[in-house]
Amino acid sequence: MFELRSFLFGSVILQMSFVTDSPIHSSSSDDFAALLDAELEVGSSGSSPDEQDDEDEEADVDANNNDDDDDDNDDDLDSRRNKRCRTEKLEDLEEPEGSTSQGLIEEKIEVSLKEDICTHPGSFGQMCILCGQRLDDESGVTFGYIHKGLRLGNDEIIRLRSTDMKNLLRHKKLYLVLDLDHTLLNSTQLMHLTPEEEYLKGQSDSLHDVSKGSLFMLDFMHMMTKLRPFVHAFLKEASEMFEMYIYTMGDRPYALEMAKLLDPKREYFSGRVISRDDGTQKHQKGLDVVLGQESAVVILDDTENAWMKHKDNLILMERYHFFALSCHQFGYNCKSLSQLKNDESESDGALASVLKVLRQIHHIFFDELDSNLASRDVRQVLKTVRKEVLKGCKIVFSRVFPTKFQADSHLLWKMAEHLGASCSTETDSSVTHVVSTDSGTEKSRWAVKEKKLLVHPRWIEAANFLWQKQPEENFPVSQAKNQ
């Protein structure tokens, strides 16, 4: 039974990503558990199929023994003679210890044993998923969100990613890793609601059919959560282009509850919900726990520093601050959307805007690139699309950076260049935009005189978040106080 259980662990886990042609169920912990339980139930029924076949054959032989006694006696006699002859021939071939033949035999046995040694593709509760051997080595990566105690070796991860990638590309899909807080939703503890936000308690939606609501009071968690406008439509359309993961720095219970609000029918994420408990580095997120090749992964997150190793995969999201606590935590001295009794636009908000970008990335990756499909890299597509946003703009900054600060190392300078603009410290006729917070500076006055575009730094930030050049008139520079 132990060997059967070990084999089943191996067979179930190796199949968990490819139960069907559809990649949608590739990492479902429920599918894994169901398969495992079903297989173990069959295996514990008393005897294996092979053993049962042997017993049936023995029963058939016993039933015919009375009729074939004479034949059996003759067969037994012939069998004993043949066996004796083979033994005598082997004895004749034996050579002294240390002979060449002996060495060759031992070498063949050694090679055969090596071929039978298990490579231990992964473990489940410190037991090899293939051979059942207890493993003390903790190499590889833990995939606890798929099933508690599951660890896969690096070679097995590569194999699974490669196979899953082929399935995904066949369905014209990529991977999309989604942050929760400030990207898809905003949550707050009930105790942190301000007096201006108390009205929200009377406006929360029913938890019995979350697909029709957006504001939920989770009393058992002492929490209130607001889904970002357009999130349901976003997830539905994005799921047609991507296999999606949730990846949050929140703990696992919180992650699972938020997944229920976003995906009550388990259509989009299935078991692909990763929390901080599943990561391999503190305060960092990494694609090592995602069973998808990095060259096909797009990330949506509001925090760039969480993805230090994967910035080329990242689309930085504008933060969603619905609750007052959220604004306070990030140092914004302003009223939140809930205090203003307002919300983002469904049609022009952050999720609607980024969905357009995702469509563009998906189209370029599958329909415009000339290279072989398997060799394409979504990171290059992201870079290409991003550089089109401010292409043709030449920017000069005026008193935006601290004195004696290296201009080309400033975040805004780098951001503008990533968006396709060229930046300079000097004004000339080729300059198209002057970026400043003060219209009274020398360069700002030059921009007005030369009829160049004078914009606030937020113009660059908005273009970066929305992946689209914004109307300059929406980002005016304030008049100097002495003017």
Quote the CA–CA distance of 463 and 416 in Å, as a whole number: 9
Q: Compute CA distances 397 → 40, 274, 429, whole Å.
A: 67, 41, 15
At residue 123, φ and ψ (nearest 5 deg) are -135, 160
Quote the CA–CA distance of 10 and 124 in Å, as a whole number: 9
List, as one string, the DSSP characters of 105-140. HHHHHHHHHHHHS----EEETTEETTT--B-----S
Of 386, 412, 372, nearest to 468 by C-alpha is 386
- Residue scoring higher pLDDT (97 or 386): 386
Q: Strand (E) positions, 403-477?
A: 422-424, 433-436, 453-455
Contact criterion met (CB below 8 Å) for 416 and 390: yes
Q: In the chain, what percentage of residues exceed pLDDT 70?
A: 75
Q: Compute CA distances 19 → 23, 34, 122, 147, whole Å.
A: 9, 12, 18, 16
Query: Binning pLDDT at 50, 70 and 90, where does residue 104 land?
Result: low
At residue 401, φ and ψ (nearest 5 deg) are -100, 150
Quote the CA–CA distance of 286 and 339 in Å, as a whole number: 35
What pLDDT, on a 0 to 100 scale, did the predictor assign at position 35? 46
- Residue scoring higher pLDDT (72 or 337): 337
* Average pLDDT rounded to a whole number, residues 219-224: 96
What are the tens digits of pLDDT across the range 254-274? 999 999 999 999 999 999 999
Query: Binning pLDDT at 50, 70 and 90, where does residue 176 land?
Result: very high
Quote the CA–CA distance of 57 and 39 in Å, as a whole number: 25
What are the tens digits of pLDDT across the range 422-443? 999 899 999 999 999 999 999 9
What pLDDT, on a 0 to 100 scale, did the predictor assign at position 403? 81
What are the tens digits of pLDDT across the range 445-470? 999 999 999 999 999 999 999 999 99
The yes-or-no verdict on residue 160 having pLDDT over 90 is yes
- Residue scoring higher pLDDT (139 or 240): 240
Q: Identity (one letter) of the amino acid at 329?
A: Q
- At a CB cut-off of 8 Å and minimum separation 6, what does 59 contact? none
The yes-or-no verdict on residue 354 having pLDDT over 60 is yes
List, as one string, the DSSP characters of 230-268. THHHHHHHHTTTEEEEEE-SS-HHHHHHHHHHH-TTSSS
Of 425, 417, 470, nearest to 443 by C-alpha is 425
Q: What is the mean pLDDT of the chain?
A: 82
Alpha carbon 13 to its chain centroid, in Å, reads 18
Radius of gyration over every alpha carbon of the chain, rounded to an integer in angstroms: 33
Contact criterion met (CB below 8 Å) for 154 and 148: no
Output the CA angle 199-201-206, nearest 5 degrees.
Answer: 135
Domains and CATH numbers, the chain: 122-152 (no CATH), 172-363 (3.40.50.1000), 390-474 (3.40.50.10190)
What pLDDT, on a 0 to 100 scale, did the predictor assign at position 405? 83
- Tokens at residue 318, please? 């504008």
